Structure 1
Amino acid sequence: MDCNQILLLGLGIEAPWKLVEQRLDMDKQPHELHLEVKAERGAKYPCPVCGQACSAHDFQEKTWRHWNFFQHHCYIHAPVPRVKCQEHGVKRVEVPWARKGSAFTLLFEQAALVREMSVNAAARIIEITDKRLWRIVEHYVGKAVSPFNLSDIEPVGLDEAASKRGRNYATVFIDTEKRQEPVVFATPGKGKQPLKQFSAFLDAHEGDPANIREAVFDMSPAFLSGVAEELPNPQVT
């Protein structure tokens, strides 16, 4: 196995794409490894709508940040084709190493450290801005949350917790009947506003605030008022 094959394996790149050039820029700090990827000449690409193999119509150069190669920042560059599908017209293909619209490879996004530490700390290690990392987190959280079906949720528990130093809070809602993965919703803030957001979240995920039969929380006036306004039928514990 030669070095190109090892790099392709590490990048998650498969045929018809191949590595055609590699360049280490020692003038940058940190140093940058640039990898040029192209498809085989005359290759056909799947239409992103129907999957039909189509010829390239034209190309657009794109760049993605990959996970660091040792201590060097790593970038993939490739001419991404548009195909002309007989049924769906001209469409930009989706490359196998990155999700649509992202400037990062899938392996880079999967390697993010935000499950183990704060976004700011992870961004410092990966050496990108925290805003760019937050966009990655928000995409995958949204993707995970979108299929939630809360039509059968009846008992909820809620409480606030300090999320940072000072007067910064988050309110968390749990399904008190679930023993595993009980968290249903979490939002910045405390008091009445999180109840309004939770009610809207239920509506957006096939739930119904009127189905909540029990609410468990501390007896703060703001929680009592918020539950009375947003959850019409629960027994308060």
Structure 2
Amino acid sequence: MRTEDIFALGLGLTPPWQVLSQRLDTEKTPHELHLVLGADRGATYPCPTCGRNCKAHDFEEFTWRHLNFFQHHCYLTARVPRVTCPKHGTRRIVVPWARPGSNFTLLFEQVVMILAREMPVATVASFVGTTDKRLWRVINHYVAEAMKRVDLSRLKAFGLDETACKRGQRYVTIFIDLDREDRPVIFATEGKGKQTVQLFREHIISKGCHPNRVLEVVSDMSGSFIAAVEEHFPQADLTVDWFHVVQLFTTAVDEVRKAESKERALPKGTRWGVLKGRETAKTQTQAEALQELESEAFATGIAYRVKEQLRWIRR
């Protein structure tokens, strides 16, 4: 079997496409494998609109970055024809290994999207040997395509929260559908506060959901979030999410501990003992500290019991 035929099998090429030649450039670092693809003279190609086999009108050369061949970067080059369709006129065909307008093959983009879920895009770019700007174009394309398929017409309840995405007070606000168990994230936007809720409102309207259909919103205790929800989702009941309630009480317990420690000595292990939940594993010192706090009526012990009663409320 010829080397070109082996590469064709590896690429999954089907007629009329075949590997015409291959060349390994060892003068570059990393080395580059160049595969030239093409078809026999006189071959016909499917019209990109109707699929009818048509003759080539003219050709233009394109190159795509493919998955590495061992440790070598791999590039595919082909003269891609425009065909003359009796019904749709002259159009550029769609090659089976890449989407229109992309400089990467579909398999390369698939790997990029998988890696981008697990690590920063800049890290992915360094790993695959390209720029993060080029990868962001790929990611933005597939995110936009996925967003087109999102149906929010039945949205009734959503939750929102902001999280830091970069240093220097850079935030992103994420919205989730509370009724979805699988892939609940339905919107994300840069920034935090009132304007993000307005952007979300505009987004769901574009997806066929009237804001008055939303009956419940879950968020933290941010004043800007609360005001925005009341303005843009007037029919919704606002609920403070459980995490932030516990966080508020935990902070209060720690404040009580700090104040009491200035007036009397607290048992060793108190700090981390009261910050952990009752069911969370503790060291022996922390467990003994909690027992002493509760048995001797320390204010910190009382505050801790109040915090733990929240668990009963949730049940």
- TM-score with structure 2 length normalisation? 0.73
The SS at the match of 2:94 is: coil
**Which residue of structure 2 lines up, in the alignment, with residue 98 of structure 1?**
98
**CA distance, structure 2, for counterparts of residue 57 and residue 141 of structure 1:** 34
**Which residue of structure 2 lines up, in the alignment, with residue 135 of structure 1?**
137
Correspondence 1:104-115 to 2 at 5 A: 104-112=104-112, 113-115=115-117
**Which residue of structure 1 lines up, in the alignment, with residue 278 of structure 2?**
none
**Which residue of structure 1 lines up, in the alignment, with residue 125 of structure 2?**
123
Q: CA deviation at 1:142?
A: 0.9
Q: CA deviation at 1:12?
A: 3.0
Between Structure 1 and Structure 2, the one with more helix by share is: 2
The SS at the match of 1:163 is: strand
Q: CA deviation at 1:179?
A: 2.3
**Which residue of structure 2 lines up, in the alignment, with residue 207 of structure 1?**
209
Q: Aligned letter for 1:54?
A: C
1:153-210 superposed Cα distances (whole Å, 9 cap, x missing partner): 1111111111233312111111112222222211121101110111111012111212
**Structure 1, 179-188 or 116-125: larger mean CA deviation:** 179-188
**Structure 1, 216-225 or 98-107: larger mean CA deviation:** 216-225
Fraction of identical pairs, as percent: 52
**CA distance, structure 1, for counterparts of residue 99 and residue 86 of structure 2:** 24
Which protein has the larger Cα radius of gyration, Structure 1 or Structure 2? 2
Q: Aligned letter for 1:191?
A: G
**Which residue of structure 1 lines up, in the alignment, with residue 71 of structure 2?**
71
* Partners of 1:123 and 1:133 within 8 A in 2: yes
* Partners of 1:154 and 1:211 within 8 A in 2: yes
Q: Aligned letter for 1:196?
A: Q
**Structure 1, 105-114 or 161-170: larger mean CA deviation:** 161-170
**CA distance, structure 2, for counterparts of residue 50 and residue 183 of structure 1:** 36
**CA distance, structure 1, for counterparts of residue 69 and residue 99 of structure 2:** 21
**CA distance, structure 1, for counterparts of residue 76 and residue 65 of structure 2:** 7
Q: Which runs of 5+ in 1 are unaligned?
A: none
**CA distance, structure 1, for counterparts of residue 5 and residue 11 of structure 2:** 10
Correspondence 1:1-237 to 2 at 5 A: 1-112=1-112, 113-237=115-239
* Partners of 1:211 and 1:233 within 8 A in 2: yes
Q: CA deviation at 1:10?
A: 2.6
Q: CA deviation at 1:5?
A: 2.8
* Partners of 1:11 and 1:107 within 8 A in 2: no
* Partners of 1:65 and 1:75 within 8 A in 2: yes
**CA distance, structure 1, for counterparts of residue 78 and residue 182 of structure 2:** 43
Between Structure 1 and Structure 2, the one with more strand by share is: 1
Q: CA deviation at 1:2?
A: 4.2
**CA distance, structure 1, for counterparts of residue 209 and residue 45 of structure 2:** 41
Q: CA deviation at 1:11?
A: 2.2
**CA distance, structure 1, for counterparts of residue 223 and residue 116 of structure 2:** 35
**Structure 1, 44-53 or 9-18: larger mean CA deviation:** 9-18
**CA distance, structure 1, for counterparts of residue 190 and residue 162 of structure 2:** 9
* Partners of 2:4 and 2:21 within 8 A in 1: no
Q: Which runs of 5+ in 2 are unaligned?
A: 240-315
